[in-house]
Structure 1
Amino acid sequence: MRSSRAVRTAELPGSGVTDATTRDAATNDTTTRARESAIISYHGTEPENALIPGHTTESGGVKVIAALFRGLVSYDPVDAHPRNAVAESIETADSRIFTIRLKRGWTFHDGTPVTASSFVNAWNYTAHGPNMMQAASFLSHIEGFDEVNSPGSTVRELSGLKIIDDRTFAVTLSAPFSEFPVTLGCSAFFPLPDAFFEDREAFEAHPIGNGAFSFVSREREKNILLKRYDEYAGDDMPSIGGVDFRIYADLADAYHDVVADELDYLDVTPFWALEGDRYLKDLPNRTHDRTYLGIQTISFPLYDPRYADPRLRQAISMAIDRVKLIDKIFQGHQVPADGLVPPAISGRAENQGGELCAYSPGRARELFEACGFAGHIELTSNIDSPNRPWMEEICASVTETLGVPCRFVAIPTLGEFRRRLNAREMTAVFRSGWVADYPSIENFLSSIYRTGAADNVGGYSNPAVDALLSAAESAPTRERGWDLYQQAERAILRDMPTIPIWFQSTLSAWSTRLRDVQPNPFRELDLYSVTVAESGGDPG
């Protein structure tokens, strides 16, 4: 507990402690306790699935999971560099066999200890194919994954995991992978308590993590309430009492609520708040504009034969005037994407897409006419985030350039949007994008474009790309691996299963009572440093 106890003592001779001093101390203590018990409200979208780390890959669920759980490593809220969290040490001599030692004192919210088996059992469950965990492919580097992950597998344990003692386990990969320690802050690698395996249904109703916040309640399409876990063993205990993730169907409602001090934090403001710098008038000293580790894209459902010709996909990419779109919709607050990997990621190369990511109307029309596409083009997205305006602007650019009708089809919620994607029911070009799970070039390529990857929802597959990604992952040095990843990126862009639109920046906003606001590189509020001011404080 951070709060101190009120001073209740009579004056001692020569101590200088008067009744007034005692009253002031008690008042200050009451104020401190009030601040540290404060629940802040945080804009959210309805998670697609139950709050299970290995089954959560979309932003609405991931930021809740990140509050409920802590992994072996965490990422710095300013520059995303990895640092040990639950792990005391992660050691390897060859980037293939890793020995992981846990710190003492970590517990789950039900009071049970976090042990080596908490990680090993969770990873085995996530990897097991019949469990159909969406984040399973993040574990694909571990020896034995292919056998365990097959749909009808009766093998439930990864051969590459071995428990040494309560605080130590060994991980053997199928091949060297120098980026492996960086990945371990991803939610797919979080631990699970015994309670999950004893009764998954009960766990889904009341998730139990090991993070700084514990679960209180959830009302679907309304909110998810968490409170601070005072037995949290991390060295970054939050200064707030809890978080109320409020589910909004319309971002405009969230914006108006944060302006009116009815919502404490909003990850991203609507595009129209940028027009004429409206946000500066609405939210003086209450916004922050920063780039983060993300990219906005649109993707093709390649299981639909209408999109089989890469010339069609290239034509649509070159028909999009990215600069005009960003200036019109975002007042210049985004950066046109020249590839698939955003700035600030180690190993990134500039201008990987070349002409394919540039507005080239003549070449776009030439490719479009050559591919023989018939009919109109549809784009689709969920609209509980501010996607309609820029998607409609893409449609306008495509229609103007290619002379073919293009229309936007709205899907009400992110949950329904993701359900259709995962069920392969999508027939339109769909909004896509990526915010890093961990700060590595590998995460922007292997996780999305490898055949069968968890987030390869469009069904892209190219054996040559798979081979390059595998070679990059097993390269003897990170630098050699980066070169191979860059080759894979260029090959993917030639196939154009996904069209890069812009590299992400976000304008976040908050209420007058928040202080020490730090948006992290993953577009989330750093819940470990934010504080709540005394009533009536200056928001500046």
Structure 2
Amino acid sequence: MNKKLLSIAMLMLMLMLSLALTACGGGNKAAENGGNAASAETETAAEGVMLFANNGSEPGTLDPALAQGTHESYLLNHMFTGLLRYDKEGNLVPGVAEDMPTVSEDGLTYTFKIKDGLKWSNDDPITAKDFEFSWLRVLNPETASYYAYQLYYVKGGQAYNEVERPGVYYVKDADGNDTDEVDHEVTITEADKEGLDLEGKSEEEIADAVYASWLEKARANVGIKAEDDKTLVVTLENPSPFFQDLTAFYTLYPVNQKVVEANPDWAKDASTHVSNGAFKLNKWEHNSYVETVKNPNWIDADEVKLGGITWEIMEDINTAYQNFDTGKYGIEVDPPTEVLAQLIEKQDPRVVIGEQVGNYYYSLNNLVAPEGVNPFTNANIRKAFSMALDRKSIVENITKGGQTAAEGLVPFGLLDENGAEWRTTNGNLIKEDPVEAKKLLEQGLKELGITVEDLNDLVLLYNTSESHKKIAQAVQQQWKVNLGVTINLENADFNVKLAREKVHDFDISRGGWVGDYSDPMTMMDLFVTGGPYNDAGYSNPEYDKLIETAKTSPDQKVRMDAMRQAELILMEDMPIIPVYFYTQPYLVQENIKGIYKPLLQYPILTYAEVQ
């Protein structure tokens, strides 16, 4: 129902029930707004206020091992708790661990002790063995976790994750299907068969048995061991000072071993979902809303005032803002840019400009096209498209939320070996010059033997959002004016966009990355050859070598110098076009207190209180 058609009485009813209704065994009578409100029959929380918020896209999963975006982590950060977590001041503090980890003198061994008496939402005890199981599950190649590489810092982690089943592997097409082109083959030697009972087995059964043997051996060498129910010992490949930060990252959240092993689909339905965070899943109406309720078993449950949080799946940010403005939502993340600019100008007390470590960029498909010519295989054309943009006009006239024009890949907020701002020490690597851009474009076209008219079929893909659309339109216009290229625009559901990026089915795609931990590596390792989030398909051996140095050296200066050089190479090759560095503007109702935003996460609603 359109908001304009709601009566004053209905608006008042919606306001009272959304922000002030406490559960007394009754239902949630929040009024329908925008055609996507939670059902009027939805049960309210057992105690306290049910806070309403919006989530811009349907979560692809509520399994920490499989999640890959903020549309999932926003919810997971409230439903799970890692060994460490971020407190109300945004500091890294013990979560499930009873204290910060003990680290060996050589920086390779981390020992975590689990707090006494902790329980899962289903009352099972939480143990160190759950963490061993969970992290090994992430690394298991059968899990297919996109974020498994975050555990490559652990001894043997990468080797385990990269075990492949014997057989022939083919190059995938744009739809993710095998082509006739062989990529590589994994073969079995006689040594691989030793000790296995293979008599009378078919070739497929032998392959299965050998693969299982490889997995078992690789798994045994991973440096993740639960010595007992309370002690988790983690051994790293190389000293990685930021490793403890990763234990607060959602991929490393624990899952209940007993539940997961009993039901592979445990995370797909509220009736089987088990978690250990401040809130537990109560209802999940797909593409409509996710309702959570307070988890009395959480480590700090006594401090949680809310009875629960309901996230409506709301892609239309204008409708989401209407829901906030009428009082239905207690918080709205990333409001419409025009509205935000007006509220900032009026110094509206509901506006919060949260700090963020993130980069908004466009991925350029660097891979050679199976048919025809892909212009973005040419570095001069890639640089021309970047150089032709006026980033300052985008942040000042479109985003309007305190964002800053990108100066490279690594955003502000991360420090170097001396505790100085890393971005400042490596300088501004972005050059904007429409005249030079036109020259580079002409040079690149000549090198490929194509004309500027051949670029007019290019398509810029972005996930459905009014903000992304406006930025794409501005970029489209700037390229038309400065380069004489008229590209096309295409929007898609966020999960569809992610799927297309994984198989490189795009010309230009709206990308973005929010840091996972407090080190420049959280941005830099995205673009190594074959990286799971290297959607551009970029490959440069020198870049890879420098990143490997930065990952393996115990010397902080050597690490940082390697990453500085790597960023210079990346910005010279320009496989992506950085546009701006994120902030995270959000709106909070004046009568709601206790919401805070860590630098590396979305706002945390756990301690919110309606006054």
Superposed CA deviations along residues 326-363 of structure 1, whole A, max 9, x for unmatched, are 22213473211101112121221327474x52321122
Read off the aligned partner of 1:196 and give its amino acid letter. Answer: V
User: Alignment partner of 1:387: what SS?
Assistant: helix
Q: 1:397 deviation in Å? A: 0.9
Deviates more, 1:216-225 or 1:36-45: 36-45
Q: 1:75 deviation in Å? A: 2.5
User: Alignment partner of 2:553: what SS?
Assistant: coil
Read off the aligned partner of 2:92 and give its amino acid letter. Answer: P
- Within 5 A, what are the aligned runs for 1:284-303? 284-303=348-367
1:265 aligns with 2:331: yes
Q: 1:380 deviation in Å? A: 1.5
Superposed CA deviations along residues 449-493 of structure 1, whole A, max 9, x for unmatched, are 123333222222222222212211222233442222222222222
* Cα distance in structure 1, aligned partners of 2:309 and 2:290: 8
1:179 aligns with 2:242: yes
* Cα distance in structure 2, aligned partners of 1:501 and 1:481: 26
Does the CA contact (< 8 Å) of 1:338 and 1:350 recur in 2? no
Among candidates 367, 385, 407, match of residue 338 of structure 1: 407
Superposed CA deviations along residues 211-258 of structure 1, whole A, max 9, x for unmatched, are 111110101111111011112114884221111011012111101110
Among candidates 333, 346, 349, match of residue 423 of structure 2: 349
Does the CA contact (< 8 Å) of 1:451 and 1:462 recur in 2? yes
1:528 aligns with 2:606: yes
Does the CA contact (< 8 Å) of 1:139 and 1:145 recur in 2? yes
1:64 aligns with 2:75: yes
Q: Which residue pairs with 2:50 in the alignment? A: 39
Read off the aligned partner of 1:82 and give its amino acid letter. Answer: L
Q: Which residue pairs with 1:366 in the alignment? A: 439
* Cα distance in structure 2, aligned partners of 1:216 and 1:416: 26
Among candidates 568, 572, 579, match of residue 501 of structure 1: 579
Among candidates 249, 262, 265, match of residue 198 of structure 1: 262
C-alpha change, 1:524 and 1:286, in structure 2 (3 Å) is same
Read off the aligned partner of 1:358 and give its amino acid letter. Answer: K
Q: Which residue pairs with 2:296 in the alignment? A: 230
Deviates more, 1:308-317 or 1:250-259: 308-317
* Cα distance in structure 1, aligned partners of 2:324 and 2:283: 23
* Cα distance in structure 1, aligned partners of 2:325 and 2:46: 21
Q: Which residue pairs with 1:468 in the alignment? A: 546
CA RMSD after TM alignment? 2.5
1:85 aligns with 2:59: no
Does the CA contact (< 8 Å) of 1:322 and 1:502 recur in 2? yes
Does the CA contact (< 8 Å) of 1:329 and 1:390 recur in 2? yes
C-alpha change, 1:146 and 1:219, in structure 2 (3 Å) is same
* Cα distance in structure 2, aligned partners of 1:477 and 1:393: 43
Q: 1:115 deviation in Å? A: 1.1
- Within 5 A, what are the aligned runs for 1:6-405? 37-78=48-89, 80-87=90-97, 88-92=99-103, 93-150=105-162, 151-152=164-165, 154=212, 155-156=215-216, 157=219, 159=221, 160-193=223-256, 194-206=258-270, 207-234=273-300, 237-275=303-341, 277-278=342-343, 284-305=348-369, 306=374, 307-331=376-400, 333-347=402-416, 348-350=422-424, 352=426, 354=428, 357-372=430-445, 374-376=454-456, 377-384=458-465, 386-405=467-486
Q: 1:313 deviation in Å? A: 1.3
Does the CA contact (< 8 Å) of 1:47 and 1:58 recur in 2? no
* Cα distance in structure 2, aligned partners of 1:371 and 1:292: 36
Read off the aligned partner of 1:45 and give its amino acid letter. Answer: G
* Cα distance in structure 1, aligned partners of 2:551 and 2:464: 37
Read off the aligned partner of 2:584 and give its amino acid letter. Answer: T
C-alpha change, 1:120 and 1:500, in structure 2 (3 Å) is same
Q: Which residue pairs with 2:569 in the alignment? A: 491
* Cα distance in structure 2, aligned partners of 1:142 and 1:415: 30
* Cα distance in structure 2, aligned partners of 1:292 and 1:236: 29
Percent of pairs with identical residues: 22
C-alpha change, 1:385 and 1:218, in structure 2 (3 Å) is farther
C-alpha change, 1:158 and 1:142, in structure 2 (3 Å) is farther
What is the TM-score of this pair, normalised by structure 1?
A: 0.86
Read off the aligned partner of 2:560 and give its amino acid letter. Answer: W
Superposed CA deviations along residues 309-339 of structure 1, whole A, max 9, x for unmatched, are 1221111111100112222213473211101
Read off the aligned partner of 1:110 and give its amino acid letter. Answer: N
Q: 1:435 deviation in Å? A: 1.2
Q: Which residue pairs with 2:179 in the alignment? A: none
Does the CA contact (< 8 Å) of 1:48 and 1:419 recur in 2? no
Q: 1:147 deviation in Å? A: 3.1
Structure 2 unaligned regions, length at least 5? 1-23, 25-43, 166-210, 417-421
Read off the aligned partner of 2:414 and give its amino acid letter. Answer: I
